[in-house]
Amino acid sequence: MSLLHDATVVAFAQRFAVGGIIAAAIAWVGYRTRALTLSGSIAAVIVGALTFSFGGPLVAAAVIIFFITGSTLSRAHTATADQARVLAPKGAQRDAAQVVANGGVATACAIVGGVTALYGLPHASRFLIAAVCAIAAASGDTWSTEIGALASGPARLITNMKPVDAGTSGGVTFLGTIAAPLGGAIVGLAGLARPDILALPWWIVICAIAGLIGSIFDSLLGATIQGMWQCSRCAHTVEARVHAACGAQCTLVRGQSWLDNDGVNGIMTLVGASAGYALAGFLG
């Protein structure tokens, strides 16, 4: 039990070693199944080892739930879902930047929580809740995107409700909006590892809220300041300077060139972590 929860330098080192082995096994499976690129696999090992070292089984379980459910959903194939992936900047495989964008904030919160506990400072548990909620936000956004792509009706831009192509940043569907809190809630099941921090129903509720907030915030950023580019070959509006499906250069048509989808995901998980930290204050 000391390996799992002790806030000591020795326990951190032991968990880092164990976490690295577990993360390497998961990353290998991810690479073999094309859920991760080689760079994504390496990043996943580092993020996983640090997450388990400082966040323990709680945050590690949240990451594993997010990875498994997100990878499973990304394999759903319909005409609409496939069209949405054509517009995606990097396809279904996650590279290092995507791994860090989705998991970096959670890892940072876990490190702060672990160090805070090591020195006996207050609010260590709130940082662990923030770490899980960052992952819940990423999960909610992933569920919203993947399940929303299965909707029969058109996606609509969140700022003005005008119809847009499936997969367009800022586009929302009723089905995807419902899926967002469910994607967050399932991450809350990781709370089984730490019932001493919150009872499981509260873990699920707080993560469902983070999932919904993360999805909405991601859509708002995508519809306003995220850089969107038009492919010179197929004329599709995409999220990168080079359209992965065509290999053609693109022209900026709206938003800021410096803010891509990975940046939006990083900001979105920070918002989810902040929401979790704030909500934990009311519950604690």
How do residues 195-250 score in pLDDT, each as one tens digit?
999 999 999 999 999 999 999 999 999 999 999 888 888 877 788 888 777 778 89
| Residue 109 pLDDT exceeds 90 | yes
Distance CA(264)–CA(102), nearest Å, equals 10
| Number of independent structural domains in the chain | 1
As to burial, measured by CB atoms within 10 angstroms (0-12 exposed, 13-18 middle, 19+ buried), residue 196 is exposed
- Per the confidence metrics, is the pTM higher than 0.85? yes
Q: Would you place residue 50 in the very low, low, confident or very high pLDDT band (cuts 50, 70, 90)?
A: very high
- Domain carrying residue 101: 2-283
